[in-house]
């Protein structure tokens, strides 16, 4: 239970922390936050929904996200605009479902504003 003065790095459970504190070693930073997925034409997001989250953006307010595990095991977070958020609700998306989000490009609305047009497909877990 106690170290009994043994400073051998193999037996000292604090050795790594002591080395970092003394500057002899650099801490390994492993972020628990997934990488942000960037919407790009021709690069769809395809994977398994792990969950949903949100964060407060200083300029744009509350932003909803979906956390997705890609085929290669990488985890990414995609910001959901109103269309994607509503589509997730309409298709009853939930963790374990497969999802594909594809940016189709820019479109012009009837009032003249330009927006990103997406295709969203949620495939329910069978």
- 23 lies in the same domain as 81: no
Write down the pTM of the prediction.
0.70
For residue 24, what are the domain limits? 1-30
- 119 lies in the same domain as 99: yes
Tell me the pLDDT tens digit for each residue of 47-95. 999 999 988 888 888 889 999 999 999 999 999 999 999 999 999 999 9
Within 10 angstroms of residue 113's Cβ, the number of other Cβ atoms is 8
- 37 lies in the same domain as 20: no
User: How far apart (Å, rounded) are the C-alpha atoms in residues 30 and 24?
Assistant: 19
- 48 lies in the same domain as 25: no
- 1 lies in the same domain as 21: yes
- 64 lies in the same domain as 18: no
- 39 lies in the same domain as 26: no
- 54 lies in the same domain as 90: yes
In the predicted structure, residue 125 carries a pLDDT above the cut 90: no
Provide the sign of the torsion angle of the four alpha carbons 65, 66, 71, 73, taken in this order. positive
DSSP-derived letter for residue 93 is -
Structural domain count of the chain: 2
Q: What is the CATH number of the domain that holds 118?
A: 2.40.50
Strand-strand pairing, 61-70 and 45-57: antiparallel
């Amino acid at each position: 239970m106690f170290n009994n003065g043994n400073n051998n790095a193999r037996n000292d459970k604090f050795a790594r922390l002591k080395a970092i504190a003394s500057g002899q070693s650099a801490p390994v930073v492993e972020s628990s936050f997934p990488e942000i997925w960037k919407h790009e034409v021709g690069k769809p997001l395809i994977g398994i929904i792990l969950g949903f989250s949100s964060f407060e953006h200083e300029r744009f307010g509350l932003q909803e996200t979906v956390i997705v595990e890609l085929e290669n095991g990488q985890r990414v977070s995609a910001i959901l605009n109103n269309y994607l958020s509503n589509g997730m609700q309409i298709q009853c998306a939930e963790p374990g479902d497969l999802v594909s989000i594809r940016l189709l490009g820019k479109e012009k609305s009837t009032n003249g504003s330009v927006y990103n047009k997406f295709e969203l497909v949620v495939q329910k877990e069978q």
